[in-house]
Amino acid sequence: MSDKIKVGISIGDINGIGLEVIIKTLSDNKILDYCTPIVYGSTKVASFYRKALSINDFSFNVINNPSQANPKRANIINCWEEDVRVEPGVINETGGKYAFISLEKAVDDLLAGNIDALVTAPINKHNIQNENFNFPGHTEYIQHRTNSKDSLMFLVGEDIRTGVVTGHIPVGEVANNITKEAILSKLELMRDSLKGDFWIQKPKIAVLGLNPHAGDNGLIGKEEKEIIIPAIEEAKEKGIYAVGPFPADGFFANGSHLKFDAVLAMYHDQGLIPFKYIAFHDGVNFTAGLPVVRTSPDHGTGYDIAGQNIASENSFRSALFEAINIVKRRREMGELTANPLKISKLSRDRD
């Protein structure tokens, strides 16, 4: 019986680059020193991509459930038996249908405690929609499945961590969704994640403004004065080291993000554009604030390069290792919490 961390992997859109980056990552046997990977998909679809990639020295160990996983192999659970036509680069209902089947079965096992973490390969947010998936993306679906009140889309890279107040909503709806309560909730989730998931004892968080020049003292929008600054002040009263609001353009241009442990952006592109520019090749999307661990690469389905053996697995590999690291930190933090002597030593070491 192995005590290695079991990481479930959903394959995403079968016509995208998901299985390509998964197979490339798991082809490195060194991965097995750190976790037991369990892919939720289909051996037939996996074989299609293995042949397309000309990878002849790799195969999956087929199992029926996580308890059968071989800790010395990359494992796969067949989530369906029927033959499926794989069409790399094609956006169709088939890609979305089987992406959801893979995701649903993986999340079922995650919630049941049969796996320790989940890494999700990219989906198409349009073709995956069905009666059981009426969400803008993975983050909202998994938040719903865990019955969590809130969650934080937390982008993590070597030199940058960025979260967003509003996620997958139209730009025209952003301002109405920027409230003091929403900002406070995200700041609390970010603070707690930085401490518990990344072991940063006294995290420093930068908060960006919504408007150009952070409102320029009310000349270019009132949200900073009326909402964002009061939220920051209340956060400080709750013991959160939050500073801002900063104008978003100059903040990243002059490297100010390096002075903070994380940055809270007001909306999706404000946070993700600089993040992807800085950390595109190894960035990770982590859903913070949930009782389960879920990460994903910070890229999409890559239809334009699907099946051509040119997709980089770097971001997916980083997502896999980040999931492993967070599980380990949470486990050890649980042990430390039960032993105040260890907590005191840990605090001294970090200070």
Say yes or no: 9 and 142 in one domain: yes
Q: Are residues 66 and 168 in the same domain?
A: no
Residue 307's domain comprises: 1-148+290-351
Token pair of 125 as six digits: 């947010």
**Residue 336 has what pLDDT?**
55
Residue 252 maps to which CATH number?
A: 3.40.718.10
HSE value, Cβ hemisphere, 13 Å, CA-based, for 344:
3
250, 283, 316 - which closes a domain:
283
Nearest CA to 227 out of 240, 211, 239 is that of 211
Same domain, 350 and 211: no
pLDDT score at 344: 42
What pLDDT was estimated at residue 2?
A: 57
Each as own residue / partner, the long-range contacts of residues 74-78 (CB below 8 Å, 24 or more positions apart, any chain) are 74/26, 74/31, 74/32, 74/37, 74/39, 75/36, 75/37, 75/38, 75/39, 76/38, 76/39, 76/40, 76/41, 76/42, 76/43, 76/46, 77/38, 77/39, 77/40, 77/41, 77/105, 78/41, 78/42, 78/43
- Would you write out the chain's pLDDT as a tens digit for each of its 351 residues? 457 899 999 999 999 999 999 999 999 999 999 999 999 999 999 999 999 889 888 999 999 999 999 999 999 999 999 999 999 999 999 999 999 999 999 999 999 999 999 999 999 999 999 999 999 889 999 999 999 999 999 999 988 999 999 988 899 999 999 999 999 999 999 999 999 999 999 999 999 999 989 877 888 889 999 999 999 999 999 999 999 999 998 899 889 999 999 999 999 999 999 998 988 778 899 999 999 999 999 889 999 999 999 999 999 999 999 999 999 999 998 765 555 555 444 444 434
Here the tokens at position 129 are: 């929609």
pLDDT confidence of residue 350:
39
Predicted pLDDT of residue 337: 57
Q: Are residues 161 and 301 in the same domain?
A: no
Residue 1's pLDDT is what? 44
**Which of 234, 256, 283 corresponds to the end of one domain?**
283
Domain end (from 283, 303, 320): 283
- Whether the Cβ atoms of residue 17 and residue 305 lie closer than 8 Å to each other: yes
95 and 116 fall within a common domain: yes
Please check whether residues 308 and 324 belong to one and the same domain: yes
Cα angle value 274/228/298 (rounded, 5°): 25
94, 114: one domain:
yes
| CB contact at 8 A, 263 and 206 | yes
* Same domain? 3 vs 118: yes
Residues 122 and 4 in one domain: yes
Q: Are residues 161 and 279 in the same domain?
A: yes
Does the pTM of the predicted model rise above 0.75? yes
Residues 138 and 2 placed together within one structural domain of the fold: yes
Q: What is the structure's pLDDT at 280?
A: 74
Q: Could you tell me if 161 and 226 lie in one domain?
A: yes
Q: How many domains, in total, are found in the chain?
A: 2
